[in-house]
Amino acid sequence: MKQELIKTAKTTEEAVKAAAEEFGVSVDEVEFEVLEEAKKGFFGMGAAPAKVKVTYIFKPLESARSFAETLIKDMGIEATVTIHDDGNGEALLTISGEDAGTLIGHHGDTLDSLQYLINLAANKKETDERKYTRISVDIENYREKREETLKKLARHMAEKVKRTGRNVVLEPMNAYERRIIHSEVQGIDGVSTNSVGMEGNRRVILFPEGGEKPTTARPERKGGKRRDGGKKRHSRPAKKAENAEKSAERAEKPAEKSEKDEYIPRPRRSSDAPRPAPRKIEKAKDLDSYFARLKEFGSTINSTEEKK
């Protein structure tokens, strides 16, 4: 990551030195370009300071540290950033402090997001010659504690699979946590694992070894019972055909009329006769009373809030 500063001083050397101190590096590690030369003037009249543009390219670990410290400072959290480099293209960045735990989040979600951003900042390429540096971020030894928790979970769920003979679907996990589950179950006889789902919602399924490999995370119904009480549901075409057959049977069967079934025509209403009031008016009255009560309730709440 490249950063630039423009400094002014009496001399070019003083401007470069001031910029290097602000970067926290030595003068030999920065590059500079003189924008304006210093002018001494005549008896102090017409003198002008030197103006220099100083450039420094942060190395991956320094970029990671700078980004993490700036982010923590902007969030108002008091914490210390430490980097341990193993010299093999991997490093561990630890954040410690009284308020550092707030950066972990639920099951390390916030910590994973922070690690992703730090890796982006550290591996922002200015040239194609730079190699990728993998940086793991840990807070208050959370990674080790989470790993032990996942191993216990894997062993417990594996025993459940062996006892019940059914698949067990775990909650969505990132690639690092899924690897821990797979690795732990590999040493347990009679149980296998498989990852299913799309990235971001990918999860591990434990299933009996030798059984069919699961490809989806569909939960099994308890007791294998149907939700409709075991009744067979008819498809729509079959249901339509059944209704058509019943209608045909009713049409073929002669209707048995009784004296009570005798048709009596309704008397026609004259145009001058008053029309009956529709039921919608009654419903409208009920609706008006409902809105009146609602309005009264709202005014009561507003008056209570104003008093507070």
**Chunked in runs of 10, what are the mean pLDDT values of the chain (308 residues)?**
79 86 78 82 72 81 86 88 80 88 87 89 65 85 91 94 93 89 92 88 91 75 49 57 67 52 51 47 47 53 49
Residue 129 in domain: yes
Please check whether residues 132 and 156 belong to one and the same domain: no
Please check whether residues 11 and 72 belong to one and the same domain: no
DSSP 224-239: G--TTTTPPPPPHHHH
Q: What is the count of structural domains for the chain? A: 3
**pLDDT computed for residue 289 by the predictor:** 57
Domain stops at, among 140, 172, 205 = 140
Q: What is the CATH number of the domain that holds 125?
A: 3.30.300.20
Q: Which of 110, 92, 93 is nearest to 101 (CA)?
A: 110
**pLDDT computed for residue 50 by the predictor:** 85
Instruction: Give the H/E segment covering residue 297.
Output: helix 279-307
Please check whether residues 51 and 66 belong to one and the same domain: no
Please check whether residues 130 and 70 belong to one and the same domain: yes
In 142-257, alpha helices (H): 142-164, 175-186, 236-252
**pLDDT computed for residue 165 by the predictor:** 92
The answer for residues whose C-beta is within 8 angstroms of residue 97's C-beta and 6 or more apart is 77, 78, 79, 80
**pTM of the predicted structure, to 2 decimals:** 0.50
Residue 149 in domain: yes
**pLDDT computed for residue 283 by the predictor:** 43
Residue 211: which region, alpha, beta or left (left: phi > 0; alpha: psi -120 to 50)?
beta
Please check whether residues 163 and 198 belong to one and the same domain: yes
Residue 258 in domain: no
**pLDDT computed for residue 181 by the predictor:** 94
Residue 248 in domain: no
Please check whether residues 213 and 150 belong to one and the same domain: yes
Residue 260 in domain: no
DSSP 84-138: EE-SSSEEEEEEESTTGGGGT-GGGHHHHHHHHHHHHHHT--SSTTPPP-EEEEE
Residue 179 in domain: yes
Tokens of 173: 């996990």
Please check whether residues 9 and 75 belong to one and the same domain: no
Q: Where in the sequence is the domain holding 117, given as residue range(s)?
A: 61-140
Residue 112 in domain: yes
Please check whether residues 47 and 67 belong to one and the same domain: no
Tokens of 203: 């999860």
Site of tokens 């793991």: 136
Residue 14: CB atoms within 10 Å: 16
Please check whether residues 97 and 44 belong to one and the same domain: no
Q: What is the CATH number of the domain that holds 181?
A: 3.30.1370.50
Please check whether residues 158 and 135 belong to one and the same domain: no
Please check whether residues 82 and 153 belong to one and the same domain: no
Please check whether residues 16 and 43 belong to one and the same domain: yes
